[in-house]
Structure 1
Amino acid sequence: MGKPLAAKLKRPRILRLLLAQFVVVCAVTGLGAYTGGLAVAVSALLGGGVALLPNAYFAWRAFRYQGAQHTRNIIKSFYRAEAGKFGLTVVLFTLVFVIVPPSNPAFFFGAYVATLFVHWLGPWLLQRPSHT
């Protein structure tokens, strides 16, 4: 018989999750612009950005390695990605509240929370289409 085929796990479709978060940020920003004008839209955009940017960093950092031979690197990259995501979130919150305080905290935090809630859709967004 031939040699056994190596199992190859495909990387998760993280880009779909990030794109969904981006769509939510745009939607809440548009809602803010419609209901309260530019200042409210900026608040929503900043709130969504504080959620989206650290998640994008995590995805970039955590999924750099693939395969069983990189198990240690995968584990290290996840820990570093999570630490970096946390640090980036703290820095972004600090920058927003020091440099550009949101004019509408409800839209700022609403966009932040709505963007984070997209993770609940993760299993659905990351699944691969079945080929039957």
Structure 2
Amino acid sequence: MTAQQRESRRLSTRLVNTIRPPLLKIYGVQCVLVILASVMALPSGRDNALSLLIGGLISVVPNAYFARQAFRYAGAAHARKVASSFYRGEAGKYAVTLAGFATVFAFYETLNEFILLAAYLVMLLLNILLVAVWRPRSAE
């Protein structure tokens, strides 16, 4: 690898780290909150707590996959890779979300649909809030 290639790779890595939100922090917080909420919901019934946990995870897991794919590359030199990973992440996110809901509705008979969907929506909103709060400072 030439010195120019190493410098280009170093700048590309720095650019990716500059624009990438702290993904582990965002999805770690969401997972902890979903688990805490489901534990706190145990007194209202095992099925309610499990519905809350599953609904939250159906939101968090596909979004984490998308974010991982979307922020793999950055910069004009990687424009095709950026576009391709973005589309791959979006398609994967929809596939995992649909598979999650289909699996739960097909096999989980004592499901509380309201709690499941409410947890899913709350986690989507929390994701937006956390990304806004922890956005990279250099992007301002």
TM-score, normalised relative to structure 2: 0.76
Task: Give the unaligned 5+ runs of structure 1.
Answer: 1-5
How many correspondences in the alignment? 124
Q: Distance in 1 between matches of 2:79 and 2:99?
A: 30
Pick from 19, 24, 34 the counterpart of residue 33 of structure 2.
Answer: 24
| Counterparts of 1:101 and 1:115, CA distance in 2 | 23
Offset at residue 102 of structure 1 (A) = 4.9
Q: Give the Cα–Cα distance (whole angstroms) in 2 for the partners of residues 46 and 68 of structure 1.
A: 39
Matched, 1:53 2:61: yes
RMSD: 2.3
Aligned equivalents of 1:66, 1:127: Cα separation in 2: 14
Distance in structure 2 (CA, Å) of the matches to 1:102 and 1:71: 47
In the alignment, the residues of structure 1 paired with residue 135 and residue 97 of structure 2 have an alpha-carbon distance, to the nearest angstrom, of: 24
CA distance in 2, matches of 1:43, 1:98: 14
- The 5 Å alignment of 1:7-86 reads 8-9=14-15, 10=17, 11-34=20-43, 36-86=44-94
- 1:71-122 Cα offsets, whole Å, 9 max, x none, are 1101111111111101111111000000114532222112111111112311
Structure 2: runs of 5+ lacking an equivalent: 1-10
* Change beyond 3 A, Cα 1:16–1:102: farther
Higher alpha-carbon deviation: 108-117 or 65-74: 65-74
Identity %: 37
After TM superposition, the score normalised by the length of structure 1 is 0.80
Compare the two structures and name the one with the higher helix fraction.
Answer: 2
| 1:127 counterpart (114, 122, 136) | 136
Provide runs of 4+ in structure 1 moved above 6 Å.
none
